[in-house]
Amino acid sequence: MSEEEDIVLSELNDDELVEQMFDDLYDGLKEEIEEGVNILLERGWTPYDILTKALVGGMTIVGHDFRDGILFVPEVLLAANAMKGGMFILKPLLAETGAPRVGKMVIGTVKGDIHDIGKNLVSMMMEGAGFEVVDLGINNPVENYLEALETESPDILGMSALLTTTMPYMKVVIDTLTEQGLREDYIVLVGGAPLNEEFGKAIGADAYCRDAAVAVETAKDFMSRKHNQLAG
Ligand code: B1M
């Protein structure tokens, strides 16, 4: 029997278990990730800590080895699938806070880009904070955003891009909103690993959000300003 088969996740202490989950995520072992998430929940970990410390932590290692040519697309897809298994368990728990609805957001990954893990995480955290979220999925041309803005009337438009080649498309969407006289109707928040504050400003977004927690804080901040303006 191999050494790996001997590992009983529930017998590991928290640190060992998180380390093991990094390995399991790396190896794309969805069932093991789901088991690890459930064990940490039973041990009283908050869903947020499990997400950020065990799942996102593991994905960061995958990201480095993908960059360095140690892992390739098929392996990364398996890792992403395992991560989604864990996120699926956490999603209802993050949304369970019972917070009153604080606003509505339409979010999608831009045209040409199929990365959705970060966007999904942002959606989950926003829902957990009491926002209603309409998720347009991946590879969205400007028409999709416009249609959703019209039918959903959100407060916030969120866009995600993970590639340096797709991030300029965010400007296409914002410029189209401006041309159609709609830009001021929405709070536009952008995010994704290759972006930064400067880029967010340059394309005319209201804010760049470094991660999902910052997205929630920024969205809340803009919503309270909006309410103050309406009241004032
Ligand atoms: Co892709 N990929 N990938 N990939 N991939 C990156 C992005 C890359 C940096 C890897 C690398 O080389 N180091 C690189 C981009 C390089 C560049 O542009 N400079 C890259 C590449 C090159 C590619 C392909 C071109 C590879 C190829 O085919 N040769 C290809 C492109 C496909 C396409 O989109 N057209 C590709 C494909 C893939 C997979 C399909 C295999 C898979 C995606 C699976 C999926 O998403 N369902 C994949 C993955 C998983 C990655 C890495 C490893 C991980 C991304 C991730 O999920 N991170 C990534 C490496 C990396 O980023 N370090 C990489 C975890 C996630 C929680 O973080 O997405 O950053 P992140 O989201 C954060 C914040 O950015 C922020 O909050 C999130 C949570 O905290 N945020 C927002 C994100 N969106 C937001 C929106 C907001 C607010 C905040 O709105 C309000």
Confidence bin at 2 (pLDDT 50/70/90):
very low
pLDDT (tens digit per residue) in 96-154: 755 566 899 999 999 999 999 999 989 887 886 778 999 999 999 999 999 999 999 99
Total-model pTM? 0.86
Give the strand order in the sheet containing 156-160.
131-135, 103-109, 156-160, 187-191, 207-209
Dist. CA 98 → ligand 1 center (Å) = 31
What spatial distance separates the first Cα and last Cα of the chain, rounded to whole Å?
Answer: 71
Instruction: Specify whether 9 is located in the same domain as 78.
Output: yes
Dist. CA 32 → ligand 1 center (Å) = 23
Atom of ligand 1 nearest to the CA of 219: 91
Dist. CA 61 → ligand 1 center (Å) = 13
CA dist., res. 14 & res. 31, Å (int):
18
Closest residue by CA, ligand 1 atom 75: 192
* Containing structural domain, residue 9: 2-97
Listed residues 40, 70, 97: the one ending a domain: 97
Beta carbons of 158 and 122 less than 8 angstroms apart? yes
Greater confidence (16 vs 99) lies with: 16
Please tell me the total count of domains within the chain: 2
Mean pLDDT of the chain: 91
- Write out residues with Cβ below 6 Å of ligand 1: 56, 59, 62-63, 66-67, 73, 76-77, 80, 107, 112-119, 121-122, 158-160, 162-164, 189-194, 209, 211-212, 215
Instruction: Specify whether 92 is located in the same domain as 108.
Output: no
Strand partners, 189: 158, 207
Greater confidence (181 vs 124) lies with: 181
pLDDT of residue 124: 81
Beta carbons of 86 and 37 less than 8 angstroms apart? yes
Dist. CA 73 → ligand 1 center (Å) = 11
- In the structure encoding, which two tokens stand for residue 212, read together? 């999902």
Atom of ligand 1 nearest to the CA of 114: 34
pLDDT of residue 48: 85
Instruction: Specify whether 62 is located in the same domain as 134.
Output: no
pLDDT of residue 5: 62
Dist. CA 128 → ligand 1 center (Å) = 23
Q: DSSP characters for 6-25?
A: G--GGGS-HHHHHHHHHHHH
Greater confidence (33 vs 4) lies with: 33
Instruction: Specify whether 222 is located in the same domain as 177.
Output: yes
